[in-house]
């Protein structure tokens, strides 16, 4: 069995924020962009398959896992995350790449194509969206209302909210609820994968999540599409 080459490093984004990336395999580049609060681990099946033939690249957006929160918290925006992707492309000296976006990663790539179409050879979306995915979800606006309550609570009690965020998001009840009502197909998704997902979300600073989630709700990339 052939050994898959793996490298990791940091690319400096437009504002100096170091962006962690991981590269596996060699060949034509494919860049995998996960959803908000997700982990590189979510791509493990795709990486295992594709890295035998392609150069597979993943990155952590700013404020996600191994990429730190930017010094200027106002730089927690969709355009900032798009420029994180662009920084990795430039750091690795890629002319063009195939981009695959999952969930919020699709929205980022729609905006990236709007700003930097020259770096795209093609674009694949997986369960993604170009505009607000929360509006009317499950036939109700309750998710959007719940987010607004969370945002107001954070504004008034930031430290308490950050503590409760980690406790509420990652626990057995949340894992069960997410499996039932979180957009997963329980017949195809292992409970361990959902547990890893929620662990990743809980690891994100609540301010990072709120700012990026808010940006996600207000972006409309349908004209780009």
Kindly state whether residue 73 falls inside one of the protein's structural domains.
Answer: yes
Q: pLDDT band at residue 63, thresholds of 50, 70 and 90?
A: very high
More confident residue, 126 or 152: 126
Token couple for 225: 């599409």
Whether the pLDDT of residue 89 is over 80: the answer is: yes
Q: How far apart are CA 216 and CA 214, in angstroms?
A: 5
What mean pLDDT do residues 98-109 have? Answer: 95
In the chain, the percentage of residues whose pLDDT exceeds 70 is 84
Q: pLDDT band at residue 150, thresholds of 50, 70 and 90?
A: confident
Q: How many separate domains does the chain show?
A: 1
What mean pLDDT do residues 175-187 have? Answer: 66
Kindly state whether residue 223 falls inside one of the protein's structural domains.
Answer: no
Kindly state whether residue 36 falls inside one of the protein's structural domains.
Answer: yes
Tell me which residue range forms the domain holding 147.
6-218
Kindly state whether residue 224 falls inside one of the protein's structural domains.
Answer: no
Q: Under a CB-based contact definition with an 8 Å cutoff, are residues 135 and 144 in contact?
A: yes
Question: What is the chain's length?
Answer: 225
Which CATH number goes with the domain that contains 119?
Answer: 3.40.50.1820
Q: How far apart are CA 182 and CA 110, in angstroms?
A: 23
Neighbours of 67 (CB within 10 A): 21
pLDDT in tens, 123-132: 999 988 889 8
Neighbours of 101 (CB within 10 A): 25
Kindly state whether residue 12 falls inside one of the protein's structural domains.
Answer: yes
Pairing type for strands 120-126 and 97-102 reads parallel
Token couple for 221: 């990339």
> Residue 191's pLDDT is what?
78
Kindly state whether residue 157 falls inside one of the protein's structural domains.
Answer: yes
Q: How far apart are CA 91 and CA 11, in angstroms?
A: 6
Least confident span in 4-8, 89-93, 160-164: 160-164
Kindly state whether residue 225 falls inside one of the protein's structural domains.
Answer: no
Kindly state whether residue 1 falls inside one of the protein's structural domains.
Answer: no
């Amino acid at each position: 069995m052939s050994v898959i080459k793996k490298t990791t490093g940091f690319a400096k984004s437009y504002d100096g924020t170091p962006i962690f990336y991981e590269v596996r395999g060699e060949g034509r580049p494919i860049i995998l962009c996960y959803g908000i609060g997700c982990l590189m681990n979510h791509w493990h099946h795709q990486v295992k398959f594709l890295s035998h033939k392609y150069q597979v690249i993943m990155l952590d957006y700013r404020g996600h896992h191994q990429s730190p929160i930017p010094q200027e918290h106002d730089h927690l925006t969709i355009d900032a995350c798009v420029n994180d992707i662009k920084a990795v492309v430039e750091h690795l000296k890629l002319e063009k790449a195939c981009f695959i976006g999952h969930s919020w990663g699709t929205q980022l790539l729609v905006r990236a194509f709007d700003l930097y179409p020259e770096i795209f050879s093609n674009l694949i979306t997986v369960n993604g969206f170009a505009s607000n995915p929360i509006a009317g979800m499950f036939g109700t606006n309750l998710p959007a209302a719940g987010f607004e309550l969370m945002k107001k609570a954070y504004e008034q009690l930031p430290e308490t909210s950050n503590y409760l965020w980690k406790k509420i998001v990652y626990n057995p009840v949340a894992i069960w609820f997410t499996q039932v009502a979180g957009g997963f197909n329980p017949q195809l998704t292992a409970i361990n994968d959902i547990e890893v997902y929620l662990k990743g979300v809980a690891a994100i600073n609540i301010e990072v999540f709120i700012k990026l989630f808010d940006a996600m709700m207000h972006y409309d990339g349908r004209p780009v599409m």
